[in-house]
Amino acid sequence: MTTILGLSGSLRRASFNSGLLRAARDVAPEGVRIVVGDISAVPLYNGDEEAAHGMPPAVAALNAHLAEADGLLLVTPEYNNGIPGVFKNAIDWMSRGEGLRLFAGKPVAVIGASPGGFGTTQAQTHWWPVLRTLRTRPWWDGRLMVSRAGGLFDADGTLTDDKTRGQLAEFVAGFAAGLRKDRP
C-alpha cells in the first residue's frame, strides 16, 4: 500500500482546496491511500511556547502521519499571490526539532484551487524554496492548478466537475506511480 499524507492549507469549512484534497482521496487508484491531515488545531508558532510545552498534540499527530507516509501532497490556496500564513505556520511547526528529518528526502507534490483565472500558480511557486530548505524531493512530473474553482465545486466544497476530477485522478495516479518507482 502506498500512503500519501495530504494537507489542505485552508481552514474554511467549504474550502475549494479541502474539497480538492477529499476528491484526491476519493479518486486515488487501488493500492493508494491518502490520509487527510488536519492543520486547524495547530497554534501559531511561538518559540517560548515550544520551549515551555514542547510539540503541540496537533503537530505531533501530523508528524506521526508524515513519518508513515511515502509522500506528501500539499493542497494550497493562494492568498495575495502567495502561501497562506496558516499553512506555512503548520509546516514550520512540523519541521521543528526531530520533525525536520521527516521532510528530508520525502517526495512532495503541490496542487491547488482558486476562484481566479490563474489557479494557484504563485502559491505553488512560492512553496518550492520552502520545500527545498526542508530537503524534500519535489515531484516535477505533474502539475495541477484548478482555476475558476467557484464553478467546479458545490456550496459544501465538493468537487463536482468531471473534467477536473479526471485531471486530479491522473495527477494522483502519476504521483503514486512515482512513489512506487522510487522505493528501494
Q: What is the pLDDT of residues 34-60, one digit of tens each?
A: 999 999 999 999 999 999 999 999 999
Residues 6+ apart with CB under 8 A from 140: none
9-28: pLDDT as tens digits: 999 999 999 999 999 999 99
Specify burial of residue 39 (Cβ count, 10 A radius: 0-12, 13-18, 19+).
Answer: buried
Number of domains in the chain: 1
Q: Which residues of the chain have pLDDT under 70?
A: 182-184
User: For residue 147, what is the domain's CATH number?
Assistant: 3.40.50.360
Q: What is the pTM of this model?
A: 0.96
CB contact at 8 A, 8 and 1: no
Q: Give the residue numbers spanning the domain of 163.
A: 2-182
CB contact at 8 A, 13 and 43: no
pLDDT value for 181: 78
